Amino acid sequence: MSTTDNQGREYDERPWGSFTVLDDELSDHKVKRIVVAPGKRLSYQKHAKRAEHWFIVSGTATVTLDGEELNRLPGEGVDIGIGVAHRCENRGTEPVVFIEVQTGTYFGEDDIVRLEDDFGRAN
């Protein structure tokens, strides 16, 4: 269940870390700040109605795109097309922080198809 941070923004704790919604005022995009805790990873997932761009702010992100692993460092990014299976993993000892820009026609959390999940949430 989402709450709000001290600036009134949507904030949610997840088993892998947390996210804060930075911008969702317009209907054509949404922006989040995502923090992945050391040793954790997001579910391996895909979306039917949105694409994402991840910009790494800190830490080393191990990104999986349709089965291919890529390492991304601060200042680097990755584009995730609609329907592309993806995940971010933190194999380091410091948090991985990235900015996620979503574009498409719908940005609800119910547009997540979890293919694999370390926390028992796979579809």
Give one DSSP letter per residue of 24-41, joined into a string: --STTEEEEEEEE-TT-B
- Check residue 8 and give its pLDDT: 84
- What confidence tier does 122 reach under pLDDT thresholds 50, 70, 90? confident
Query: What tens digit of pLDDT does each residue of 22-35 get?
Result: 999 999 999 999 99
Percent of the chain with pLDDT over 70: 99
The pLDDT, as a whole number, for residue 21 is 96
Q: Supply the CATH classification number for the domain 3-108.
A: 2.60.120.10
For residue 1, pLDDT beyond 70:
no
H or E element at residue 6 = none
Residue spans of the domains in the chain: they are 3-108
